[in-house]
Amino acid sequence: MLLSNEQMERYSRHIILSEVGAKGQKKIIDAKVLIIGAGGLGAPAALYLAAAGVGTIGIVDADNVDLSNLQRQIIHTTPDVGKAKVLSAQETMNAVNPHITVNTYHEFVEASNIMDLIAGYDFILDGTDNFPAKFLINDACVLAKKPFSHAGIIRFKGQLMTYVPGKGPCYRCVFREPPPPEAVPTCRQAGVIGAMGGVIGSLQAMEAIKYIIGKGDLLTGFLLTYDALKMDFRKVKLPKVSSCAVCGDNPSILKPFDYEQAACKL
């Protein structure tokens, strides 16, 4: 299938790039990306991926839009308060780009649904805010051999890494298991600058695009950390851990499981 005139014009700033071209744009249009969490990270990522023409985008989120979300979750607007985040996100994404398909999943990710959720997608974005979900996404993606982008933000800081099956460490290689509830502050307790979601969520979208077009170096084997107050970006090298419980040589985690602690009881 050739690109239509409308598509040629809409994506002209992509197509003019030697790394993308019509061929790369076709890959983007054929790609399927799942975004878990339509919040601070997922909102900007979803907007950029929709605008870029990613043909199928899934959004998973069980929440409704709250007034306190609007300081950073730029996919939702004031009239959306009270609406399911997945529907609000879908409307904005289709307003930006009516040619893409947005699949909505108004639910939490759990061990019981995660394998089915990720099965139909090429790349997964973790935009969740709690550690049980982050470990669940990691384990499921490792087990299903799906590439994914992990990210987290708090206060003036953010971080991300990219897992690609067979290449480099997973999230569990670095962090092993979730900290106890309340041991590590959350955004709700500690706050976050809205633009932090824009910086880090956009970097997640960038990783997805690079993976789709097959160009450049992904953040595999590195954790990128961003300190906004010091205006400092650093790439910290991550070793692969052969004893990792899910991606190591003798894994003990053979299927996804839920941690006991509530997903986010705050």
User: Which residue ranges make up the site for another protein (CB under 8 A)?
Assistant: 37-42, 61, 63, 69, 127-131, 134, 151-154, 157-159, 174-176, 179, 183-184, 186-188, 190, 192, 197, 200-201, 223, 234, 236-239, 241, 264
Rounded distance between C-alpha atoms, residue 219 and residue 198, angstroms: 18
172 binds, among another protein, Zn ion, none (CB under 5 to 8 A by kind): Zn ion
For residues 237 and 51, the answer to whether their CB atoms sit within 8 Å is no
Q: In this complex, which beta carbon is closest to another protein, that of residue 20 or of residue 206?
A: 206
Q: In this complex, which beta carbon is closest to another protein, that of residue 14 or of residue 150?
A: 150
Rounded distance between C-alpha atoms, residue 99 and residue 196, angstroms: 29
Tokens representing 189 are 């307790």
For residues 46 and 104, the answer to whether their CB atoms sit within 8 Å is no
Q: In this complex, which beta carbon is closest to Zn ion, that of residue 5 or of residue 252?
A: 252
Q: Could you say which of 57, 86, 199, 244 contacts Zn ion (CB under 5 A)?
A: 244
Residue 61 has what DSSP assignment?
-
Q: At what angle do helices 85-96 and 42-52 cross, to 10 degrees?
A: 30
Q: In this complex, which beta carbon is closest to another protein, that of residue 39 or of residue 256?
A: 39
- Cβ neighbours of residue 4 under 8 Å, at least 6 residues apart? none
Rounded distance between C-alpha atoms, residue 60 and residue 35, angstroms: 6
219 binds, among Zn ion, another protein, none (CB under 5 to 8 A by kind): none
Q: At what angle do helices 194-213 and 21-30 cross, to 10 degrees?
A: 110
41 binds, among Zn ion, another protein, none (CB under 5 to 8 A by kind): another protein
Classify the phi-psi angles of 69: left when phi > 0, otherwise alpha if psi is within -120 to 50, otherwise beta.
Answer: alpha
- Reduced to 3 states (helix: H, G, I; strand: E, B; else coil), residue 197 is helix
Q: Could you say which of 170, 200, 205, 223 contacts Zn ion (CB under 5 A)?
A: 170
42 binds, among Zn ion, another protein, none (CB under 5 to 8 A by kind): another protein
24 binds, among Zn ion, another protein, none (CB under 5 to 8 A by kind): none
172 forms part of the interface with Zn ion (CB under 5 A): yes
Q: Which of 100, 92, 22 is nearest to 58 (CA)?
A: 100
Q: Cβ 234 to another protein, closest distance in Å? A: 6
Q: Cβ 112 to another protein, closest distance in Å? A: 20
Q: Which of 3, 6, 261 is nearest to 134 (CA)?
A: 261
Q: In this complex, which beta carbon is closest to another protein, that of residue 32 or of residue 155?
A: 155
Q: Cβ 172 to Zn ion, closest distance in Å? A: 5
Q: In this complex, which beta carbon is closest to Zn ion, that of residue 4 or of residue 242?
A: 242
131 binds, among Zn ion, another protein, none (CB under 5 to 8 A by kind): another protein
- Reduced to 3 states (helix: H, G, I; strand: E, B; else coil), residue 198 is helix
For residues 57 and 49, the answer to whether their CB atoms sit within 8 Å is yes
Q: In this complex, which beta carbon is closest to another protein, that of residue 41 or of residue 93?
A: 41
Binding stretches for Zn ion (CB under 5 A): 170, 172-173, 244, 247
